[in-house]
Structure formats: C-alpha cells, structure tokens
Copies of this chain bind each other. A is one copy, B any other.
Amino acid sequence: MAEMNRQITLAARPKGMPKPTDFKLVEAPMPEIGGGEVLVKTLFMSVDPYMRGRMNEGRSYARGVDIGEVMMGGTVGEVIESTDHTLQPGDIVQSQMGWQAYGKAIGSEVRKIDPDLAPISTSLGVLGMPGLTAYFGLLDVAKPQKDETVVVSGGAGAVGSLVGQIAKVKGCRAVGIAGSSEKVAYMVDELGFDGAFNYKQVSDYGSELKRQCPDGIDVYFDNVGGEISDTIFPQMNVFGRISVCGQISQYNLDLPDPAPRIMWHFIAQRLMMRGFLVFDFAEHFGKALKEMAGWVQSDKLKYREDIWDGLENAPEAFIDMLQGGNVGKRLIKVS
C-alpha cells in the first residue's frame, strides 16, 4: 500500500471558541508534483491567532478556509522531490503548506532556509512571520523614539515578546500585558521588559497602567483589543501612536462587544492609529530578517518555543493558544 498523507481539515465553522470537533484528521493520497514544483515533508507547523479568522465564512483580508479543506498555515519542512532546479531533496524550506504531513508548492513559493544559521523552527517564529510582524508593526507603523514608553498587549506571545525587546533595542521603556504570572515573570525576568502585569489579577487596568507608565504611553502595540485597549486610549500621550496587529479578545465573540468611543482622544491627544498586515512590508523582509538575526545572535532578542508534538494534536494546541495557554511561539512538531 502506498504511503498516505495526513491532513487536518476544517469540519465545521466554529461558533465562538473553536472545539476539537470543528477539525477532522483525514488521510489523503500523497501529493503528486508537476513541473517546477517541490514535494515537502512537514517538520514544524505554526499555529497562530490569525487562523481563527480564516475559519469564518467569507472574506476578511483573505478568503476563509472551506469546509473540508486543509487548514492553512506556515510550515517548515524538508524537500523530498523537486522538479525546480534551484531546490534539491534534503533542502529545508519555509512555506505555507497548511496543516498536513506533506505538501507541494511551486518552487518560487517556498523560501530556502540555512539550517546552520539558526534552528529551522525559528523560520516560523523570531525569524519568520511573527518576527517580521513585530519588527514592521513596531518600527514602521508606530515609529518608537528613544526614551518613549511602549505598551504591548499579548506581551508574552510570539509577536508581543519580540515587540517589547525591539522596543528595548531602540532605547524605549517596555511594558507588557498578559494573562498569567508565569508570563509576567517571563517578560520581566527573561526578556528584560521594564514592567508587566497580569490583567487577570488587576481589578483596575487604568490605575495599574498609570503606576507602570508614570510618563504616559507613547506607543501601544495591540495584539488583544477589548477592554484593555479601552483603558489605554485615555492614557496615550500627545502625538501617541497605536499599531493594531491583532484583536484576539474579539475573535471568538458571538456578539460584538460595544465599546466607548475613542475619537475624542484622537483629537485632544492627536493620536495616530494604523492597522497592518505583515505582507504589506514584503519587499523589505530580507533586510529585516538580517537585522533580526543579528539581534538574536547578540542575545538582544530572546525567544521561547512552545512545541507540541504530533499533527493530530494541532487542534488542541491551537485552541489552547487562543485561550492564552502559550508562552512564546506555539509550534507543532509534525515529523
């Protein structure tokens, strides 16, 4: 019997927080490659908050996954077969194969990784999409200046943990918000944030922010949204900047959650808020990855990987991450 591929498909559109039964583990024939394509065996696979949006019907910034279709996502793997002359079996490549053990792609759609430079899993984390998201979302969108105060929500996550550290590289004060005391300790003791707090143990976010940001807030990098953001707008300094990266607190709500209007703060404090997708900066990825790799080598950027084993455990790992279970970058070791 020929070897089969294993895939996780979308079984049902979630209502609110996804359930394991919204996913289905299936067997499928091995992909067959055509001219200019590569067959890749997945080694690591990424689970990220943005995937929750792709489980919905209809378009947001990208089309949703169809029912029965393989869940999408970034992967790093080993080339098994190739009809692209630039890629050989044994090469390690980063690509978007989705939640499956094997995938195929056109050669130009994969990025070859040098495994001697850094662990290959980092191509899905600090030296991949989350790292680039932190880099461009902080530096290009929010433009932090030396001695400014940068607050990041989801500060212990794949993106947020890097945002605070890049802020430190730029001479800013970094304050992180997250949902456990372990995460607070990680940000302050291991990553060198100037301050952090566990929003689940603070009754009044506003007072805590005032205490940790005595000079006000110049930059807010928002991964989470919701009530935490509501308390931040009034504390933004004049000419403050808000970089909107994610809204994980909102992705699983059945009903929209009304909020105080924020526009008056934009006038009185002359705030700027901008949302972004990392792909908007694609032409500058090379330069950014080089700079980030330098910071990793000089220990200015630390990262933690939170690796679950087995493709079959991806749904549970994903759901747990949406509930805040991860510290650092959550990955699935597939093979």
Which residues of A line the B interface, CB within 8 A? 60-61, 222, 225-226, 229, 244-247, 250, 256-261, 263-277, 280
Bound together, the chains give a CA A245 to CA B61 distance in angstroms of: 28
| Min CB–CB distance A237 → chain B (angstroms) | 12
Contact B275 A269 (CB under 8 A): yes
Chain B residue numbers with a CB within 8 Å of A273 are 266, 272-274
- Bound-complex Cα distance A164 to B131 (A): 42
In the complex, A240 Cα to B256 Cα: how many Å?
Answer: 23
Q: Report how far A62 CA is from B190 CA in the complex, Å.
A: 42
For A267, list chain B residues within 8 Å (CB).
Answer: 61, 244-247, 275-277
A266 in contact with B244 given A259-B259, A271-B274 (CB within 8 Å): yes
- The complex places the Cα of A258 from the Cα of B266 at a distance, in Å, of 16
Could you tell me the distance between the alpha carbons of A206 and B261 in the complex, rounded to whole angstroms?
19
* Contact in complex: B263, A247 (CB < 8 Å): yes
Q: Which residues of B contact A225 (CB under 8 A)?
A: 261, 263
A261 and B271 within 8 A (CB): no
A144 to chain B, nearest CB (A): 17
Kindly list 11 other residue pairs between chains A and B, CB separation below 8 angstroms, not including A256-B260, A267-B277: A60-B268, A225-B263, A247-B261, A250-B264, A258-B258, A258-B261, A265-B275, A266-B273, A266-B275, A270-B277, A272-B274
Q: How far does the Cβ of A245 sit from chain B's closest Cβ, in whole Å?
A: 7
- Nearest B residue to A280, CB-CB: B270
Which residues does chain B contribute within 8 Å of A263, judged by CB atoms? 222, 225, 229, 244, 247, 250, 275
Q: Is the Cβ of B264 less than 8 Å from the Cβ of A247?
A: yes
Point out the residue from B229, B245, B258, B280 that lies within 8 Å of A259, measured CB to CB: B258
- Give A250 to B266 CA distance when docked, in angstroms: 14
| Cα–Cα, bound, A244→B267 (Å) | 6
Output the nearest chain B residue to A246 by Cβ-Cβ distance: B267
